[in-house]
Chain A
Amino acid sequence: MKAMLLTLFLLPTLAGIIAFFVTSHSARRWLLIGAAIAHTLLTSACWVREPAPTPGGWMLLDAPGLLFLTLTSVLFLAVSVYALGYLRREDWGRRQDFEEGFLFTNAREATFTGCLLLFLAMMTLVTMSQHFGLLWVAVEATTLVSAPLIYFHRHSRSLEATWKYLMICSVGIALALLGNFFLAVAATLGEQSHVPMTLGNLIDRAQALNAPWLKAAFLFLVVGYGTKLGLAPMHTWLPDAHSEAPSVISALLSGALLNCAFLAILRIQQVCLAAGHGQFGQSILLGFGLLSMVVAAVFILKQNDFKRMLAYSSVEHMGILAFAIGLGGLANFGAMLHAVNHSLTKGMLFLVAGNILAAYKTKSTSDIRGVVQILPVSGALWVAGFLAITGSPPFGPFLSELVILKSALDQGRVFVAAAYLALLCIIFVGMAAHVLRMYQGVAVIPSAGLPSGQVADVDSSCLDKPVAESSLAVAPAIALCIAVLVLGIYIPPALQTILERAARALAG
């Protein structure tokens, strides 16, 4: 198919626009599922036959692009199945906030579905943009269409989170635009001649680029897109947005959006490598990566909110990705594999967190006990997800974190490797304390923690026996869990090929 890439982008765009105007709830929900399935099918077709680039080479699906497109698409499919159940069980009238007791409503469901589909469209555009300007436009657009999703529950906390998200990411991405212009200056060869701003052209003629301007561009782009990626110290929007957004949205933010920002940083690193400044970029990414892991470790240890804990874990894993790219060599392969593992695991964890939140009506880890009794399936998935995300065998992240460690040791960077390992251990302990405490114990009645009379005791009586878990709420998480488990044992040859090709793109 000639216009495959355009179709991939336009399909969710159109579906999103239509969703704003569909009044029937069931029709809109089927539109969401339909678009998600169609997007996944089109994406899998790209695995069979490489899609043709658009004229001028602005859109092209290379190995890193295809990898991240597939992750986005698969995760979106899982999320939209979960959303089907979520939207059905949401109470659309005025209802009470379970933390502070005030009344709030939700945004319109049409706005939610429409923005969700547009979000998919923009992330798709990021994965296939080869032109740095287009890439910027797409990344900024993902911020703007996802802001209404974070402000889905209309109350003061989500509004605060949305404001921070918008302001911090917009300013960050404005710096990335400045970085783009610096790159354009670096690519200006003379009065009338300049290298076009597409990745292929820049790599081919990288030696001719002006070195100081290229380095300045790299710095601005890493800080700009790094804000979106959640690298410390620009990560401050991330825990707020992830904890206040509905869990379906948190899953997408963490599993898909962060990858898109990572891809944007990979692109400029590719140019740096080709120009012979790979070492410069690597040392900066290594530093940001380790710093992010330190910050995440500190905040995970003292975290009492399980969604914020997962958000800081995302900061950690984005740090690991930056760290791995900073190491280079074999770690590039590890980074690609780890991006896959992290997306699937974190998506699953946020979906399960949504189930726990719906049953217990609190995000505080000290108020939640006995998830295993109340939610047997979600409880098991919660622990499995915890083991996976902290890098325990036999799950996928173990393998990718091991590859990265091996690469650090092979390069003889013992101190860096030791720091990496120590931080992983601290985070394991920190998360274990919270997750296992939530999992075990005797379930307490959720409304007991709130001032008496504020919450109707409808749910509390039935919470000493298992709550019925709907298949829509657990099936997507089970599927993701199985995928993570399989990836820890066996990497399919097709995936192996793409991972290797993606890693080679960063080999310099």
Chain B
Amino acid sequence: MDLLLDTSIVLLLLTNLKLIASSRIAACIRAVAFQGIVFGIMPLLVGKDPLTLRVCMLSGAAIILKGIVFPWLLLRALQAANVRREMEPIVGYTPSIVVSGVLLAIAMWLGRQLPLPVPASSPLMAPLAMFNTIIGLFVVVSRRNALTQVLGYLVMENGIYAFGLAFALQEPLLVELGVLLDAFMAVFVMGITVFHIGREFDHMDTDRLSLLRD
């Protein structure tokens, strides 16, 4: 069980690097979709108790939303726009990989320093949560393309979700489903906005959205 969990954590770390290193947006979307599915399976792996209906429902909802619905929405927005690649990110690809390496090291170190009231299900869980959150934020601020920024937001959301998993926090089911529903709505609304941006501007570079300023 622990081997399976650690393997999936390593897989998740790798998907983040894939997202950072790839310029093709479709490949990035698929990397995040894969990450979503692995995160969806995780609640089944971390639990010490036998499987409950609650865990199964959460896991199922997460797999369907993060693994299938979100990528599908984003791929549709991508098809509508005349953009295939992230052309010139604010931080280039090679520096990005170096930065993510440094962030990973920091997350690994910091994740082990946290004073936890309850031991986490795996020593890698807290570093994973931190790495995902920070790398998601990094993608949001270092990429120009609106779709890539949505992906960054999703990765960040995944990191926060991992934090919840790490400590098997007993949030009521209703709240967790509400959080998932909000994430769904967020991607839905962002997807529509990206679609409109692609149609209105003929590009999706958010740094060229600069009409409004003081």
Contact = CB atoms under 8 A, between A and B. Distances in A.
A240 interface: yes
B169 A140 contact: no
Nearest to A210: B117
A191 B171 CA distance: 15
Given A197-B171, A212-B115, A174 B197 contact: no
Interface string A183-218: 011001111001001000000000000101100000
Interface string B158-190: 001001100101111011101101100110011
A463 B169 CA distance: 64
Contacts of A160: 209-212
Contact of B169 (A164, A185, A191): A185
Interface stretch (B4-12, B36-44, B86-94, B149-157): B149-157
A490 to B, nearest CB: 39
A395 to B, nearest CB: 28
A394 B183 CA distance: 46
A37 interface: no
B172 A163 contact: no
Nearest to A147: B189
B169 to A, nearest CB: 5
A157 interface: yes
A155 B197 CA distance: 10
Given A174-B160, A188-B117, A239-B214, A140 B182 contact: yes
Given A137-B178, A243-B212, A185 B167 contact: yes
Contacts of A162: 193
Interface stretch (A128-136, A270-278, A403-411): A128-136
Interface string A130-168: 010110110011011001100100111101111110110
Given A140-B182, A148-B189, A171-B153, A163 B163 contact: no
Contacts of B163: 178, 181
Contacts of B176: 133
A191 B170 CA distance: 11
Nearest to A168: B140
A230 B190 CA distance: 21
Contacts of A155: 200
Interface string A436-465: 000000000000000000000000000000
A280 B172 CA distance: 30
B140 A171 contact: yes
Nearest to A186: B117
Contact of B179 (A133, A166, A191): A133
A188 B169 contact: yes
A177 interface: yes
Contacts of B185: 141, 144
Contact of A189 (B117, B186, B211, B212): B117
Nearest to B184: A144
Interface residues of A, number: 49
> Which of B133, B157, B172, B182 has the most chain A CB within a 10 Å cutoff?
B182
Main secondary structure of the interface of B (DSSP, over half): helix
Contacts of A163: 146, 193, 197, 206, 209
Contact of A133 (B156, B172, B200): B172
Nearest to B182: A140
Contacts of B178: 133-134, 137
Given A189-B117, A243-B212, A141 B175 contact: no
A154 B156 CA distance: 30
Contacts of B179: 133, 136-137, 177
Contacts of B171: 133, 184, 197
Interface residues of B, number: 42
A170 B209 contact: no
Interface in B97-154: 115-118, 133, 137, 140, 146, 149, 153
A47 interface: no
Contacts of A167: 140, 149, 153, 190, 206
Contact of A171 (B156, B181, B182, B210): B156
A20 interface: no
Nearest to B169: A184
Contacts of A197: 171
B30 interface: no
Contacts of A144: 182, 185-186, 189
Interface of B: 115-118, 133, 137, 140, 146, 149, 153, 156-157, 160, 163-164, 167, 169-172, 174-176, 178-179, 181-182, 185-186, 189-190, 193, 196-197, 200-201, 206, 209-212, 214
17 contacts: A134-B175, A137-B179, A140-B182, A144-B186, A144-B189, A147-B193, A154-B196, A156-B200, A163-B146, A164-B212, A171-B153, A178-B133, A181-B160, A181-B169, A185-B167, A190-B117, A210-B117
Interface of A: 131, 133-134, 136-137, 140-141, 143-144, 147-148, 151, 154-157, 159-164, 166-167, 170-171, 174, 177-178, 181, 184-185, 188-191, 194, 197, 210, 212-213, 239-240, 243-244, 299, 302-303, 308
**Which 9 interchain pairs have the tightest Cβ spacing?**
A133-B175, A137-B178, A160-B209, A240-B212, A140-B182, A184-B169, A144-B185, A188-B117, A178-B160
